[in-house]
Amino acid sequence: MTHNHPHLIRAPKDRFTSGVMANMRFVAQRMLLKSVVWSITRVSVQGRDALKGVRGAFIVVANHSSHLDAPLVMCSLPRRMGRYLAAGAAADYFHDIWWRRILTALFFNAFPIDRTGTAQKQGVSKKLLSRGVPLLVFPEGTRSKTGEMAEFKAGAAALSLSCDVPLVPVALVGANAAMPRGRNWPIPGRPPVTVVYGEPMIGLPGETPDEFSKRIRAEVRRLHTTGATPKGTA
């Protein structure tokens, strides 16, 4: 049984799969979040054509250097892909205070990721993918302090292999310069940021999670280089 067909597993509707919640989230993301982020930065998006064949569950992986990262991905994906997208949020930060928990659920359909490395929360990720809910994961685990890309943890690659779902690589260019770690708001003057989508990736026969993860990171770095030369359309 493959897991990238959402109709295969029937489960009760909850906030991850509810159409009503998805519509509320769409309004929150596209009318509020996107309006703000796109007005205080100059966003260009490249590579969306690469996403045309993606159906069912998938995992978006991106470099992570700014609080702008999740809004940039969630608000630039085609609606059919972003409608139920759930973003992994650090359990020890976003899910410890009630108002943070509510806001991250509303805007990002967030699910808790345990970044301590005990992997107790991976069961949540697998259940969501098996129900057709796509995930947004930042494999570096935390925001880069310098903007330099850290090594990728192999969790997203392992999930892709075990659940038989494609990975969509994304490079976020300029987000760190626009809103570096430690700032609660982007720098003035509408700094440019670029979102670059790549072709979906799947594991090769016999490839280990570590090997796949290194390949994903290399692709995100390559996309980052191409996106550093502005040529996209907003």
Q: In which element (H, E) is residue 194 found?
A: strand 192-197
Q: How confident is the model at residue 2 (pLDDT cuts 50, 70, 90)?
A: very low
pLDDT in tens, 82-95: 889 998 876 666 65
- Sign of the dihedral through C-alpha 166, 3, 89, 37: positive
pTM metric for this prediction: 0.85
Give CA–CA dist 232/197, Å, rounded: 11
Domains parsed from the chain with CATH numbers = 13-227 (3.40.1130.10)
pLDDT in tens, 16-61: 888 888 888 888 888 888 999 999 999 999 999 999 989 899 999 9
pLDDT of residue 206: 94
Weakest mean pLDDT among 120-124, 173-177, 189-193: 120-124
Q: What angle do CA 177, 181, 182 make, to 5 degrees?
A: 120
